[in-house]
Amino acid sequence: MYRESETHSRRRGRNFGVLGVLVGFIVIVFGITIAKIQTGGFSEGFDHVARPALAAEPIEGETTE
């Protein structure tokens, strides 16, 4: 007959706690990813290229030289 010691049962509980935290983190990252894809957030990523959507419009009477 096998009887589990107290140390093993506590360790198993902690392992399930860590598992829960990791699964929660994965769910949050996945949810943010899906939300950004649906709103088009990835179409203008950080790619070191000038984005016309962020360019300021020139003020009337101001020259751009």
pLDDT tens by residue, 4-37: 888 998 999 999 999 999 999 999 999 998 888 8
- Residue 61 pLDDT exceeds 80: no
Asked if 44 contacts 53 with a C-beta cutoff of 8 angstroms, the reply is yes
Could you identify the residue written with the tokens 């003020």?
Answer: 59
Overall pTM surpassing 0.75 (yes/no): no
Q: Which two tokens stand for residue 1?
A: 């007959």
What are the start-end ranges of the H helices in the chain? Answer: 6-39
Could you identify the residue written with the tokens 């769910």?
Answer: 27
Q: Which two tokens stand for residue 39?
A: 């709103």
